Amino acid sequence: MASELFELSMLGGAVERRYRRLRPEVDRLPWGTLDVTKYSAAVLNVARTTWTEAAFQEHRTAAACAATLKALIAARAPLDLIAMATRFPLDEMVHVEMCARLAMELGGGAPLEHDPLDLIREPDPKLPALLQAAELVVRNFCVGEALSIPMLRGSWHAAGHPLIKAVLGRIVKDEAAHGQFGWFFLEWAGELLTDADRTHLAQQAGLTINAVTERWKQIKPLEDSQDPERLGWMESASYVALARRSMQTSVIAPLKRHGIDVAAWLAS
């Protein structure tokens, strides 16, 4: 794998003006209001890393949304459902910009190496078009996006600085539609999926959930006293507790209601 530094740019000029017309609310956020002199170097380093990693995760999610959109078109999903999904890559790129701008306001992005050709996991190309689309929707939306909504909302409630709160609030508004999308898809595709398809989807969902829960073990303890204005995170114990509850109520239970029972595929 070829590793590259994660760096971003804007073309500017007429292209940026068109982009701003699509999402004018971004420039209306209270940029320039973070006073970095109020924080220790240690807090700023953690915050810069947090928002750089957030920008990268949103970048990866944009790739996942684009791949899902392509699969939906190949599967000849309903036109209005596909049209709903066309907005998601734009939303994610907006989130990339906001997270990156926050990192810059905190002193600059943190170094992050990545493989640009290995951003997402694609389904087996030998699978039928519908099952490929269903796998991407289940992994990226029924697990990833459905879980992100309560977690982002929790971070938004915890945020103390107006700029941090405004950025998280904007992301939460966008993610609401993303979180609903997976269930809309399963309501349409439900009668078209076989028992074998559902078993495959349960396995893929379980693998995705296991990867997420494994990352929770790597979260370093951070107490409120280390960041009184919450520059981008919840207190660690509260975050993990909310994540575990949300995984059950927002991901596992709704999947089971749609005939996708992940219990057999979850790590003990």
pLDDT tens for each residue of 1-53: 679 999 999 999 999 999 999 999 999 999 999 999 988 888 888 889 989 99
Question: In 3D, which of 92, 106, 100, 105 has the Cα closest to residue 45?
Answer: 106
The total of structural domains in the chain comes to: 1
- pLDDT value of position 140: 97
Q: Do the domain assignments include residue 3? A: no
Within-domain flag for 8? no
Mean pLDDT of 161-167: 93
pLDDT of 266 above 60: yes
Residue 2 lies in a domain: no
Q: Is residue 227 part of a domain?
A: yes
> What is the CATH number for 145?
1.10.620.20
* Per-residue model confidence as pLDDT tens digits over 116-159: 999 999 999 999 999 999 999 999 999 999 999 999 999 898 88
Q: Is the pTM of this model over 0.85?
A: yes
Residue 101 has pLDDT above 90, yes or no: yes
Is residue 31 in some structural domain?
no
Q: Is residue 89 part of a domain?
A: yes
- Tell me, what DSSP letter sits at residue 34? -
Domain assignment present for 220: yes
**Complete DSSP assignment for 65-121:** HHHHHHHHHHTT--HHHHHHHHHHHHHHHHHHHHHHHHHHHTTSPPP-EE-TT-SSP
Q: Please report whether residue 144 resides in a domain.
A: yes
Task: Domain of residue 242: give its range.
Answer: 37-265
- What is the mean predicted confidence (pLDDT) over 250-261? 98
